Amino acid sequence: NPGAWDTSSAGHVDFGETYETAAKRELEEELGISPSQSLTAIGRIDACESTGWEFVQIYAIRYAGPLT
């Protein structure tokens, strides 16, 4: 559904990575997307019981190319 929000890629931050670097790596690994532009940070959830005590950073990106 074009224009709808979705979680298409997710993962964990490796040692020494920033949240954005990890997000870009996960996009490459899971969708074959290698974004050259910065991602837009749109939200953050601090570690809590509902996240399994994990910190969550949410990004958005517009992409019009093919997915692999």
pLDDT tens track, the chain, 68 positions: 566 666 778 899 999 999 999 999 999 998 888 888 889 999 999 999 998 999 999 998 888 887 76
d(CA 45, CA 53): 10
- The reported pLDDT for the residue numbered 9 is 85
Range of the domain at 51: 1-68
- The reported pLDDT for the residue numbered 35 is 83
What is the number of structural domains in the chain? Answer: 1
d(CA 48, CA 46): 6
- The reported pLDDT for the residue numbered 26 is 93
Residue 24, both tokens: 């870009």
- The reported pLDDT for the residue numbered 53 is 96
